[in-house]
């Protein structure tokens, strides 16, 4: 287990599942959660390849912070299919201040553990990570 600056460890499963998403495209998305009692980041939800963006959004709690990775497929202007791996720091305005601080202080270290992140988004409400945002950032 890797250790972050904030004292949060990163469970090995986080890196293994991310690697499967990146290399085998085994998942559409992964939602990660900080388990405060165990002081580590764990995998909370794995999204099957057939799951949609809407399915992904339902797994981000309205008033709790999370990290997430989303494998976004799109077509370029030349109609070439591509994909980008997005890292999302989900920190809703309604979440507890302590939770926001823990997630913010652990984010960079956790992100470094996931080698292959292409684009980062920080979102405090769903409009900041809508499909239009993904499309504009992917190109």
Quick: pLDDT tens for 93-112.
Answer: 999 999 999 999 999 999 99
C-alpha–C-alpha distance, residues 113 and 10, integer Å: 8
In DSSP terms, 113 is beta-bridged to none
pLDDT band at 8 (very low <50, low <70, confident <90, very high): confident
The CATH number of the domain covering residues in 9-138: 3.40.20.10
Per the CB < 8 A criterion, the answer to whether 31 and 60 are in contact is yes
The DSSP result for 36-77, as a single string, is: TTTTEEEEEEEE-TT--HHHHHHTS-TTS-EEEEEEEEEE-T
- Listed by start position, the domains of the chain span 9-138
User: How distant is the alpha carbon of residue 77 from its chain centre?
Assistant: 26
From the CB of residue 101, how many other CB atoms can be counted at a distance below 10 Å? 13
Number of H helices and number of E strands within the chain?
A: 4, 7
Question: Is-above-0.85 flag for pTM?
Answer: yes
Distance of alpha carbon 70 from alpha carbon 121, whole angstroms = 11
The Cα-based distances of 92 to 55, 66, 81, 97 in angstroms read 18, 9, 32, 10
Q: How far apart are the first and last CA of the chain?
A: 34
pLDDT tens digit sequence for 53-100 = 999 999 999 999 999 999 999 998 899 999 999 999 999 999 999 999
């Amino acid at each position: 287990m890797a250790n972050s600056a904030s004292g949060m460890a990163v469970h090995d499963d986080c890196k293994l599942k991310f690697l499967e998403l990146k290399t085998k495209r085994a998942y559409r998305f992964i939602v990660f959660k900080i388990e405060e009692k165990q002081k580590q980041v764990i995998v909370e939800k794995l999204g099957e390849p057939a799951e949609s963006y809407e399915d992904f959004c339902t797994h981000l709690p309205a008033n709790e912070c999370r990290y997430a990775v989303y494998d976004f497929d799109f077509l370029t202007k030349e109609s070439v299919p591509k994909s980008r791996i997005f890292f999302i720091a989900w920190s809703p305005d309604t979440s507890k201040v302590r939770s926001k601080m823990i997630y913010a202080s652990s984010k960079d270290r956790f992100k470094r553990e996931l080698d292959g992140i292409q684009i980062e988004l920080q979102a405090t409400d769903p409009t900041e990570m809508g499909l239009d945002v993904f499309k504009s950032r992917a190109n």
